Amino acid sequence: MIRIGTRNSALALWQAQQVKNQLQALGVSAELIPVESEGDQNLRDPLYKMGIQGIFTKTLDAALLDQRIDIAVHSLKDVPTVLAEGIEIKAVLARGACADVLVYPPEHNTPPKKIIGTGSLRRKAQWLRKYPDYTVENLRGNVQKRLEKLAQSEWTGAIFAQAGIERLELSDLHYNKLDWMIPAPAQGAIGIASLSSNSAVLPFLDRLNSSETALCTEIERSFLNTLEGGCTAPIGAIAKIKGSKLFFQGGLFSLDGSQAKQIEEVVSLQDAKGLGIQSAKKILDQGGASLMDEIKSQLSK
């Protein structure tokens, strides 16, 4: 019996259920153990004010270390690039949609105001870079709570991950894909963490792992880690494999979107290892280091 730890939101439970289904298809018994995270409990404060590193993963980390669960299922974009000692990401499922989407509220009698809802500094910065005449309001909570707040608002819309909308089968929503917005590193990917010492689960997790998605997300997360952004600075990264080539796009943005350091690279798959680190170093050398210092100074106020 493999005990699967998960946050208890509808989306997190859906993702954990996919892992359970795949394990059972291998003939393995499994059960879900929901755990509420600190990030799910506090919906008032912006994430960057909450000491974001691991805000959605700490309670599951503790459950792993206490051996109350055998594996933890995460939205990989929420997992810090430096894990708690003794814990490793052991598998990454084949990636779903990775784009951001603008979800519109139900039609109102009055025209919407030029306001967008999001709790993400990355989404906020990129939106303001393209639409500087808009205001961005903090929007926190699971998908359902955010949709409820959007429905009660006079906003133009709110930004969500396409993967979450599709996984919850919210087909009645009206939304547009934001193809121009660089997604969060590892967005759309489901990661499975376990204790480094837990060799019993490895044979099964190896069979769930998508080597292609694991490579792409490792490049994206190493880009984030090298820029020292944690989960707070406005940083986007996406890697995609097409044939024998890997395409990478990354960006670092000022909080108001007025400044941007972006990079695009195309390399052969055999040269892909280390691409995230190399790309981040190029950005740092081209003014990204001073921009990061500026961002950190503003966030510390």
Q: What is the DSSP string of 56-104?
A: TTHHHHHHHHTTS-SEEEEEGGGS-SSPPTTEEEEEEPPP----EEEEP
**What is the Cα–Cα distance from 11 to 132, expressed in whole angstroms?**
32
**What is the Cα–Cα distance from 138 to 119, expressed in whole angstroms?**
5
Q: Specify the fold of 211-301.
A: Double Stranded RNA Binding Domain (3.30.160)
Contact status, residue 180 vs residue 100, Cβ threshold 8 Å: no
Q: Specify the fold of 100-177.
A: D-Maltodextrin-Binding Protein; domain 2 (3.40.190)
Question: Which of the following is catalytic: 40, 61, 78, 100?
Answer: 78
Using alpha carbons only, give the angle 197, 227, 283 rounded to the nearest 5 degrees.
140
Tally Cβ neighbours within 10 Å of residue 84: 16
Token readout for 111 is 């025209």
pLDDT of residue 49: 46
Instruction: State the span(s) of the chain assigned CATH 3.40.190.10.
Output: 1-94+189-209, 100-177
Taking phi first (over 0 means left), then psi (-120 to 50 degrees means alpha), and beta for anything else, what does residue 54 get?
Answer: left
Instruction: State the span(s) of the chain assigned CATH 3.30.160.40.
Output: 211-301
Using alpha carbons only, give the angle 241, 242, 244 rounded to the nearest 5 degrees.
90
Q: What is 1-94+189-209's CATH number?
A: 3.40.190.10
pLDDT of residue 183: 98
pLDDT of residue 277: 98
Is 256 tagged catalytic? no
pLDDT of residue 150: 95
33-44 pLDDT, tens per residue?
999 765 444 445
Give the residue from 275, 201, 269 showing the smallest Cα distance to 238.
Answer: 275
Residues of the chain where predicted confidence (pLDDT) is lower than 50: 39-43, 45, 47-52
pLDDT of residue 37: 62
Overall size of the chain counted in residues: 301
pLDDT of residue 39: 45
pTM of the model: 0.91
Place of tokens 């393209």: 130
pLDDT of residue 69: 97
